[in-house]
Amino acid sequence: MATNITFHPGSVSAEERAQLLKQKGITIWFTGLSASGKSTIACALEQHLLHLHRFTYRLDGDNIRFGLNKDLGFDEKSRNENIRRIGELFADSCCITLTAFISPYRADRSVARELHEKAGLAFIEVFVDAPLHVVEQRDPKGLYKKARAGEIKDFTGISAPYEAPENPEIHIKTDECDVTEAVKRITAYLTEKGFI
């Protein structure tokens, strides 16, 4: 841990940033099994919110591991650190941040939520839910097949656990609704709660 650093505050307050951007920062945290539809819905929602002139940015689990988190594996400790790092990003930017991560552990999602609550920022958990047999049929990357064959260890849903959210703000069953309907439901929630 670095000890020779000092936090340098900016000259723009959180209130001023929110007033100028005409929005407050929130994080919409998509969680669910691989191939449940997290990234697909997050991409569509990002497009929709940008067309509404909302400052929005999407972070995707695979994409983050090409850069910021390329030093992390998929064991439990690495997964914990992956989610901790993501929870710290964009916290006070007044951005609507969309995060699409399996984030299999409730405790890690709780840490991300607590970071937001301490900063006075909204955290909206979206459970992108699809049964295991459905995601195995989708399997766009062939990962479930490899996991079942023992070629991938610590694969969520097969050889590693996924702890479903107990009380997500939004629960979307992607075997029962399409992407357009999912975006409508999330947008309706954001509108109802006064986020957009």
Residue 110 annotated among the catalytic residues of the structure: no
pLDDT of the residue at 27: 93
pLDDT at residue 4 greater than cutoff 90: no
pLDDT at position 143 is 96
Residue 20 · residue 95 · CB < 8 Å: no
Distance CA 165, CA 32 (A): 9
pLDDT of residue 73: 84
Q: What is the pTM of this model?
A: 0.87
Residue 160 has pLDDT above 70, yes or no: yes
Question: Which one of 39, 103, 110, 159 is the catalytic residue?
Answer: 103
Angle between helices 76-88 and 106-118 (to 10 degrees): 20
Token digits for 52? 């509404």
* pLDDT, average across residues 23-45: 95
- pLDDT-based confidence at residue 89 (cuts at 50, 70, 90): low
> What integer is the mean pLDDT of 42-68?
89
Report the alpha-carbon distance of residue 115 to residue 120 in Å, rounded.
Answer: 9
Judged against a pLDDT cut of 80, whether residue 84 lies above it is answered with no
Provide the pLDDT for residue 70.
86
